Structure 1
Amino acid sequence: MFPFFFDPTMMLLIPALLLAMWAQMRVKSVFARYSNVGSRHGTTAASVARALLDRFGLRDVPVNRVSGNLTDHYDPRDRTLSLSDTVYGSSSIAAIGVAAHEVGHAIQDKLDYSPLRIRNAIVPVVGIGSSMAFPLFFIGILFRGQMLMDLGILLFLGVILFHVVTLPVEFDASSRALRVLADTGMLSSDEITGAGAVLRAASWTYVAATVMAFAQLIRLLFLRGMFGSRD
């Protein structure tokens, strides 16, 4: 029998790991490329975000600056939009695309977009599942407790659901971003192409995370079959 700290099922994760590595390199590369291309209007990403929010009646949503690189996000809990240091004051096509994407999330929130509501609702469950699923499962292996293994898998299904629901949320926010940038004329058609490239590259990180989650689930099911039937 192989040692507990390694098992052949870990090989199932390799394709997902490679995809995740490629996605991270891709988004950094494309973002860096279009970060060096300024928009013709010269408007900063923060100003674009403010103008778009106001356009959609979201004047009460503040645009904050947060430290870090690509830490941009919209928080539906307190309805705040935060842009990272590399985006906030930049007038590059990449920065404006990212800012508009976050505005897309704010618009989803205002319109009560169903996938976003589902994702927000399951966040507490996902937090528990992501921290407890693997410990419970492997404790179940150690003590031959099928119930603990099944509970670990059940909790991890919540993580799977979170990733699956995240995909339409992110894709829709990017689509909204590109539409409003084009409709408002804040970016020209060729600039929209660059912003779209940035957002498509970013979307691959969510796809990779979902693939990794499913690979982990398959691994757990394999291990459940291997250890769950032992005498």
Structure 2
Amino acid sequence: MYYPYYYDPTYIILIPAIILTMYAQFKVSSTTNRYFRVRTQRGYTGEQTAREILNANGIYDVRIEMTRGTLSDHYDPRNKILRLSQDVYRGTSITSVAVAAHECGHAIQHARGYAPLTIRGAIVPVVNFASNASWILIMLGLFMTSTTSLLKIGILLFATTVVFQLITLPVEFNASHRALIQIENLGIVTRDERRESKKVLDAAALTYVAAAASAILQLLRLITIANRRDD
């Protein structure tokens, strides 16, 4: 039996992902805010942390810039710019150091030719197009009850989003792993502060796990809808 899109019992498939996403958002917010208030003993700012790590790894062609927003930190491999939000750039907290080190982890990945990062960067244009086009085709396929072709093509395009999210997981986990090694080996944090930094990075990583779970369950839901249409 086919149900109209506005009354779709397959939404139940998404409930675990919704719960995980809400928990991940709570976890990252509460953990980062908590450790924004804890200053590291050695007093490195996020900017100093980033510069120390980059220099220690022989990376001298990456600029460090301050950017607007809260936790808007990211590494831009195309322009070789490491952008840190104001609280991270100027802050001397555990969160500031951990986040800055994580973004340096991506810069190190880029410099070392880390394969998952290279693959993820290469498929970004394809994923952006496929993600936008997929929902147009899916919506058309849902309301054009005479055929499932558009719906199936849309689902196939949406699958690229799942692939992207799955590739993102090792990229983010590896960047955090590199970050923790760097800040401890370079003496930026103490051993206890390393454990606290890991809590910050683990909380942030949970958001990527939630995103991957959401994409997988959404794909499963769409496949279920398509199979019902065939029936």
Q: TM-score, normalised by structure 1?
A: 0.96
Query: Which residue of 158, 161, 167 corresponds with 2:160?
Result: 158
What's 1:52 paired with? 53
Task: Report the number of matched residues.
Answer: 229
Distance 2:12 2:85 in 1: 36
Runs of 4+ in 1 over 2 A off after TM superposition: 1-4
**Alignment partner, residue 193 of structure 2:** 191
State the superposition RMSD in angstroms.
Answer: 1.1
- 1:91-140: CA deviation from partner (whole Å, max 9, x where unpaired): 00111000000000000000000000110011011101221112201211
Moved more, 80-89 or 98-107: 80-89
| Equivalent position of 1:201 in the other structure | 203
Structure 2 contact 5–142 (Cα < 8 Å) conserved: no
Q: CA deviation at 1:184?
A: 0.6
User: Could you tell me which residue of structure 1 aligns to residue 180 of structure 2?
Assistant: 178
Query: Could you tell me which amino acid in structure 2 is paired with residue 31 of structure 1?
Result: T
Query: Mind listing any 5+ residue stretches in structure 2 that lack a counterpart?
Result: none
Q: Which residue of 2 aligns with 1:220?
A: 222
1:210 CA drift (Å): 0.3
More off after superposition, 64-73 vs 141-150: 141-150
2:67–2:84 CA contact under 8 A, matched in 1: yes
Deviations, residues 4-48 of structure 1 (Å, cap 9, x unaligned): 323001111111011001001001101011111101111111111
Over the matched positions of the two proteins, sequence identity in percent amounts to 43
What is the alpha-carbon distance in structure 1 between the residues aligned to residue 195 and residue 70 of structure 2? 22
Q: The residue matched to 2:101 in structure 1 has which SS?
A: helix
Separation of aligned partners in 1, 2:230 and 2:91:
55
TM-score using structure 2 length: 0.96
Could you tell me which residue of structure 2 aligns to residue 108 of structure 1? 109
Match of residue 32 from structure 2: 31
| Structure 2: distance between partners of 1:140 and 1:32 | 44
Match of 1:41 in 2: 42
**Shift in Å, 1:2:** 4.1
SS of 1:65's equivalent in the other structure is: strand
Which moves more between the two structures, 220-229 or 86-95? 220-229
